[in-house]
Structure 1
Amino acid sequence: MTSPVAVSVVGPDDRTPDRKKLWMAALKPPMYSVAIMPIWWGTALAYGQQHALNWGVFLVFMGSAILILAWENITNDVFDSETGIDINKAHSLVNLTQRKQLVFWLGNGCLALGILGIGAIAYGQQDPTVLGLVLGCCVLGYVYQGPPFRWGYQGLGEILCFFAFGPLAVGAAYHSQTHGWSWESQTASIVLGLTTSLILLCSHFHQVEDDVAAGKRSPIVRLGTQRGAQVVVASCLVIYGLILALALGGYTPLATLLSLAGVPAAWKLCRQLLRHHGEPAVIKDCKFIAVGLHFWSGLGFGLGFFLTY
């Protein structure tokens, strides 16, 4: 775990190296691939199946998705500050700024801009379906941490994450290009939903003590770190088994096997967790290894469609 917030760390001097590192950790730039990949997948599937590609819609959707994820990340820091679970998290935006209301409204501003972009797409297409699907994602994002729900504290975060960043988000991106629906795209979205949920699962390993103290029953709290590591290994096998089945079964182009570019990250993740699952200082960055798995497998999958058609 990170050390408790100290005055010298959260003081007014923004030029100190430690504070810069804390800001980078708080903003979590690598995590925004989580917002980008559903739009990439949905667009790639639309291009492959119906040769539909509107670059303007793609770019607006991408920007809106990033803003909406920023809202979720920012407000999660606010909601976590209310439960005390982030007391030892020096890179919480609330702990860094000591201005919870400002952080809260900054997050809401990101949400408003993101929804405005999606609304513009829906208005231009005279079809509210995309907006409805994205609003569904936002609802799942809120009940994950927001009061009075806080379903993430009940261990349901990975399930919410699967649907929000898998079938719903990929379906919305696909519909924004084709104005239609596809069972093939929904089947493929299962893979992306699983890789996204894996990131969240890996984020729990190093903070078990704080989760228990705050009453958060994350899957790792419930399972223990050893069995949790075994679940990660099984999840990786399922993810790449599905990728192989889709490509070799003819449901996706063979070129989508470029998704196997994520295997080295999966190997590193599994090995590190199996060996060091009970050592928070060693495995605290495992979620970023999972982000690498998510990014490279997602990038390869989309490229498989664009290179084939």
Structure 2
Amino acid sequence: MMLMAASFCDVNLGCGLRKLHDFHSTPNGKTRSHAHAQNLCSYSKQHIYLKRLDIKQVEVKRRFKLHQVSSGKNAHSSELAKEDDISMATLIWRAIKLPIYSVALVPLTIGSASAYLQSSTFPATRYFVLLVSSILVITWLNLSNDVYDFDTGADKNKRESVVNLIGSRTGTLLAAYMFLVLGLIGLTWVSLEAGHLRAMLLLACAIFCGYIYQCPPFRLSYHGLGEPLCFAAFGPFATTGFYWLMGNNSSVNCLPLTGTVLCASLLIGFTTSLILFCSHFHQVRLGTEKGSSVVKVAITALYSLLLIFGLSRDLPSSCIILCLLTLPMGNRVVSFVDENHEVSREHRRS
């Protein structure tokens, strides 16, 4: 058995070696080895080509980013050059901020109209004294805001800042509080002449809201409370106070609080707060996408409230018609924040 097994192994081993020798000596073996070598060579070439392609793509992306950065710097430089070319008259006009004084005119006018609807009287002298006094108070807000923004460094490079134009922080602050004192004198005189001290209390609350909004040590505008304070100051406080002061004290000591004046004050406060929010929109406040959504919802809610107050007959039909004429302006505001949001998003991507 052992001899047979040994001879069988020898035979198999010999056959296997012979087959291996024949395989390498035949042309098929050579062809297969050559094909395998060609596959390895083509794979190496393809791998090298892909590596070079990746390197080229990375280089193209790097050059594109450098071009974007260079373009941004050039655009920023051109903007700075344009800012340097602005005339002094333009800077003064910007520093005055004339549209901001509409917040002195609107609450007084709406309060006076509500009082006229109730008492059929319009004391012109009181109206103009209150208008001048309100403008003086708003001037105090404007100047003191520039002073305290200068202190925080927010207006350091703002050429139209009153502090930068005058060159004196102390002088600007003294002028601001001088305007406030003059405004308070006018408001107090009308309150005493009309005999409505409660109205003066409401106006004092409105001024206090303005103080804690921007003046130290409060500066509640930096804590996200600017819009609520603005709503209270120019809405219920100022509008209702002017409504009482413009009433006829000879026939009635104090006009009743009607649904008309309350609804009107709510709309004024809402609108003024929305204007304040939009004025901060270019600073990417709340994130531009979130901020644009807030503006759209707020404008929709504003016109919805107007419609509700009109259907409930708390506001006259003429008031509803006049307010609906502002729909194109509301649409323009929505379009503006949409465009501003897109621009801000592009800046973040670059």
Q: Give me the TM-score of the superposition, normalised by structure 1.
A: 0.79
Q: Aligned residue for 1:130?
A: 199
Aligned length: 259
User: Which of the numbers 290, 306, 310 marks the counterpart of 1:227?
Assistant: 290
Contact 1:119 1:131 in 2 (8 A): yes
Q: Aligned residue for 1:284?
A: none
Does structure 1 residue 194 correspond to structure 2 residue 263? no
> Quick one: structure 1 residues 62 and 160, their matched pair in 2 at CA, closer, same or farther if it must change by over 3 Å?
same
Q: Aligned residue for 2:314?
A: 251
Residue 316 of structure 2 aligns to which amino acid in structure 1? P
Q: Aligned residue for 2:326?
A: 262
Does structure 1 residue 180 correspond to structure 2 residue 255? yes
Shift of 1:278: 5.3
Does structure 1 residue 238 correspond to structure 2 residue 338? no
User: Which of the numbers 167, 175, 183 marks the counterpart of 1:114?
Assistant: 183
CA distance in 1, matches of 2:308, 2:119: 22
Residue 160 of structure 1 aligns to which amino acid in structure 2? L
Q: Aligned residue for 1:302?
A: none
Contact 1:32 1:66 in 2 (8 A): yes
Question: Aligned to 1:71, what secondary structure does the other structure show?
Answer: helix
Larger Rg: 2
Q: Aligned residue for 1:143?
A: 212
Question: Aligned to 1:279, what secondary structure does the other structure show?
Answer: helix
Contact 1:9 1:19 in 2 (8 A): no
Contact 2:292 2:337 in 1 (8 A): yes
Shift of 1:279: 3.4
> Quick one: structure 1 residues 278 and 104, their matched pair in 2 at CA, closer, same or farther if it must change by over 3 Å?
farther
Question: Aligned to 1:233, what secondary structure does the other structure show?
Answer: helix
Contact 2:196 2:244 in 1 (8 A): no
Q: Aligned residue for 2:55?
A: none
Q: How does 1:195-210 map to 2 (within 5 A)?
A: 195-208=271-284
Q: Aligned residue for 1:277?
A: 341
Contact 1:64 1:117 in 2 (8 A): yes
Superposition CA RMSD, Å: 2.2
Does structure 1 residue 26 correspond to structure 2 residue 101? no
1:37-88 residue CA offsets vs partner (Å, 9 max, x unmatched): 0001101111112323211111111111111011111101111111111123
Question: Aligned to 2:313, what secondary structure does the other structure show?
Answer: coil
Q: Give me the TM-score of the superposition, normalised by structure 2.
A: 0.70
> Quick one: structure 1 residues 278 and 75, their matched pair in 2 at CA, closer, same or farther if it must change by over 3 Å?
farther
Does structure 1 residue 98 correspond to structure 2 residue 167? yes
CA distance in 2, matches of 1:73, 1:261: 30
Which deviates the most, 19-28 or 43-52? 43-52
Which deviates the most, 235-244 or 142-151? 235-244
CA distance in 2, matches of 1:81, 1:265: 33
Identify which of structures 1 and 2 has the higher relative contact order when contacts are C-alpha pairs closer than 8 Å and 6+ apart: 1
1:183-241 residue CA offsets vs partner (Å, 9 max, x unmatched): 41122211110110111101112124xxxxxxxxxxx2xx2111111111111111111
Contact 1:248 1:254 in 2 (8 A): no
Shift of 1:118: 0.7
Contact 1:71 1:111 in 2 (8 A): yes
Q: Aligned residue for 2:57?
A: none
Question: Aligned to 1:277, what secondary structure does the other structure show?
Answer: helix
Shift of 1:28: 0.5
Q: Percent identity?
A: 36
CA distance in 1, matches of 2:342, 2:222: 21
CA distance in 2, matches of 1:276, 1:39: 33
Contact 2:263 2:315 in 1 (8 A): no
Structure 1 unaligned blocks of 5 or more: 11-15, 209-219, 281-309
Shift of 1:17: 5.4
CA distance in 2, matches of 1:9, 1:239: 37
